[in-house]
Structure 1
Amino acid sequence: MTDFRAWMFYRPDLWPYPPKKSTTFMVFDFTPSSAPPNTFESLPREIMLAIFQYLPPHSLITLSTACKSLRNTLTNATVMDHIFKEIIFKADHLSWILPLNCLPGEMERANVTARQWLVWAAEMAGGEVQNADPTEGSEKRYPAVPQNFPRGFRLPPGSRAWESLIDTDITGWAQRGGDNSGTVHAPSLQELIEGGRQDESPFLSSSFPYFAFVRVCFEDDSMRNRRRLWGIAKQFERVWREYRTQGWERDIFL
């Protein structure tokens, strides 16, 4: 798959399933020394976390090797969940992971998988979650979700490679036409945040395992293709912004 880039033909709207085992780091234990703290150690925790949200994930891993105290902080799953939540919703490094409500049924299908992650997180913590049914939630209020879920939800991980990107009759990932004026789309995550309706999306739950979820997304072929397509869209966005703000000597868009 990697050698021939077959992952580029995966559907980009299938979020990965939770793993069978925990994917978190082993917490690095250390005993604080009496030596004067370094620059990072002297920063308040709130400022440190605010700085971390502007770093891409690989830079966080590199930063964790700077000193033992940072290694201890950046191997703590609770801290990493908070950091990755801030990165996803406030920075631009991981915005490709979030579902888009402008695509019919995408928010609803993503919520189905996200609720499975909440169940997995509760199992890893030895507890239970309320409304563990993956079909419960905003899907009942917003009929944009197809009555027949995509086949990818019924198959084990790795079995969805050749589901067509244009298989719209089943997936609803793209519409080839027709009247969609009566379709009511689910609100975006930003709209839920601004409206104080975080309980309507599992992605906004305080117990959502962001760190484990992001790690699996980087390894999942469907999400790799989504990240690639998002990068292409961002390139067009930069080109169009440059054209609208600075203009070009020759108008190549005409």
Structure 2
Amino acid sequence: MSPIIEAKGVSYRSNGRALVQEIDLAIAQGSFTIVVGPNGAGKSTLMRLLCGELTPSNGAVLLRDQPLTSIPAWRLAHARAVMPQASELSFPFTAFEVASLGVEGLGRGLSRSERQRLTLHALDRADVAHLASRNYQTLSGGERQRVHFARVLAQLAAGRTVEDRQILFLDEPIASLDLKHQLALLETARDLTQDGLTVVAVLHDLQLAAGIGDGVVLMNQGRLVARGAPHTVLTPSRLAEVFGVAVNAGQLPPVPWRLVQAEL
């Protein structure tokens, strides 16, 4: 099966500095890929290149074998959703109104009531349905992050009426969440891959990456160091080389994701 998204020789420079260098990466449809690496490794830049927010200085990103730069914005909005590290919003919207931004102008044949239903379902999946009428500005950082997760879930649901092969990009989505909601968000994303959704996420927690990812992409200094199954990428010798810390083989077990949840 051809990859749903592929980076071919992708580099990105800003102010004379190479942030991403010569990345070749193919991601299969329905997979959950985790991007890890130290601060400044180029993880978020790679994510922004893959989702089309940035244009490569060299190379190309292909979505279903088509250059990302040639895909109209309306179609791209149906094919992929992006949840950044943080989203600033200064308007006095309710949580429901913020989540409903995901369905505005998207989809085919959706009535107003159907769009509202998709939004409410997304809020429920993100565990913020009880906050629907709250002013977004009064929410905690973690609650706001979950509302934005609902927004991308609603966008994907609306977009599915046009594009059935979709990608969800998550850039450090659990940084402001408590443990319960960290696991819940990642589990929801994982469940969506069972329906064919492709997920690409940047995470700092290596144990979570080892437990939930089908594959791990390890970056350092803008380059792809290794990619593959978690147990083949997150080895003690490679972690010592990239992160500069000694890790014993028993300190980073590839914990099965379902087992982690069960123990909690």
Normalising by structure 1, we get a TM-score of 0.30
Q: Which has the higher contact order (CA 8 A, sep 6+)?
A: 1
Look at both structures and tell me which one has the larger radius of gyration over its CA atoms: 1
Normalising by structure 2, we get a TM-score of 0.29
Higher helix share: 1
